[in-house]
Amino acid sequence: MGYLFTSESVSEGHPDKVADQISDALLDEFLRQDAESKVAAETLVTTGLVVLSGEVKTKGYVPVQKIAREVINRIGYTEAGYMFDGSSCGVISAIHEQSEDISRGVEQENPEDQGAGDQGMMFGYACKETEDYMPFPLQLSHQLLIELAAIRRENKEMTYLRPDSKSQVTMEYGDDNKPIRVHTIVISTQHDDFDEEQAMLAKIKHDIQSILIPRTKNKLQKQDQALIDDSYILHVNPTGKFVIGGPHGDTGLTGRKVIVDTYGGKGAHGGGAFSGKDSSKVDRSAAYAARHIAKNMVAAGVAEEALVQVAYAIGLADPVGLFVNTYGTAKVNLSDEQIANEISAIFDMRPSAIVKRFGLKNPIFEPTAAYGHMGRKPYKQKVVVKQNGLDVEKEVEFFTWEKLDFVEEIKAVFDL
């Protein structure tokens, strides 16, 4: 029997995502100054105010207020009328030094013995619904808001747009768990004030249907475009006006959009947030590693769909367990327990090995803080970092956990 499944996304101007981006921008700047920085940065944003808090251990100096303002302005909160703008909002810092009780378990004389920065379980998921091995409803939700932000920045069409927005996609699936068509799209977008509310609603809905959705659809793969036919239901700003938004409309906090950050409700999530945390915190680094495993497994043909769980105890390097669920889609004649055992032998899941495998001491995290940490395209970019007190330009890779670099090894182990 078929079913409907829904995922949502929020834009870079959503208050929770503003907080995430500030936290990750601070992390990146600490890593630029000192690659060994230990950071757990939390941000609160509300009307006219940003509060920075958390724990840091570093040899570098970061002008945290300046970084926060730069992020806010880049997102687009640049007008006093928004009741929150980067040039005039207050920025309070309550960042302090990391607890020695944590650092003693994380830092070891032998770097390979580096312990996990916390206990907990992390999940990675992959499926064959899209070319990026992500659930289709979440990927489309992200793409709609990426395109909406592009339209806003171009300022040629839909010139009334403001930074805060949300999307939601409901997908119809068949008996075989494969997507059939997009059933419902919901878009809520902040906008300038209009004189006439009904005319405003009609104008925005028309533009979403005739500008945003076609632009988004044209950037999808041909087979994915076919899933958006003319029968979908569209809801635009269902509550009416959406003039008051961003941190003035709702308080934003780091780490409140973990399902948007991961798989849109498919698979599972261990509960730990990502943004603002350096790679010693396995909440982040091991979640990336689990996604890397799941994606490479599905790409190699081990299964059509895969969930990978890894769990740690604080201060210990080796995971306490690794679990695999292929949802009955395995293409090899092995149980999920046997598959997990083979996977454990392929991937070194000690925190130090994960950090090295993905280059997680580089300042690569701010781009992850909006539109999802998973399903993104890996790319290289030059950044400036401090080395021996000097500014040095180096090339780093972003979204390395999305690389399909273990496919051949997995195929060899599973005789595929």
Q: Which positions make up the binding site for L-methionine?
A: 55, 98, 250, 281
DSSP string, 232-252: -EEEESTTS---S-HHHHS-E
| Nearest partner of 281 among 307, 254, 303, judged by Cα | 254
| Nearest partner of 210 among 227, 187, 239, 191, judged by Cα | 187
If residue 104 lies in a helix (H) or strand (E), which one and from where to where? helix 100-106
- Strands 3-10 vs 38-46: parallel, antiparallel or unpaired: unpaired
Binding residues for K(+): 42
Helices (H), 13-95: 15-33, 64-75
Residues 6+ apart with CB under 8 A from 156: none
Binding residues for Mg(2+): 16
Ranges assigned E (strand) in 313-399: 321-325, 379-387, 390-398
Q: What 3-state class would DSSP assign to 349?
A: coil
The tokens describing 92, both together, are: 């309070």
- Strands 321-325 vs 379-387: parallel, antiparallel or unpaired: unpaired
Q: Which residues pair with 384 in a beta bridge?
A: 393
Distances (CA, A) of 271 to 121, 122, 259, 274: 8, 8, 9, 10
How far, in whole angstroms, is CA 277 from its chain's centroid? Answer: 13
Q: What CA–CA distance (Å, rounded) separates 209 from 197? A: 18
Binding residues: 14, 16, 42, 55, 98, 164-166, 241-242, 250, 256-257, 273, 277, 281
DSSP string, 191-231: E---S-HHHHHHHHHHHIIIIIHHHHHHTS-HHHHTT--TT
Q: What CA–CA distance (Å, rounded) separates 278 from 38? A: 6
Binding residues for ATP: 14, 164-166, 241-242, 250, 256-257, 273, 277
- CA angle 148/154/157 to nearest 5° reads 70
| Nearest partner of 361 among 352, 374, 348, judged by Cα | 352
Q: What CA–CA distance (Å, rounded) separates 165 from 268? A: 25
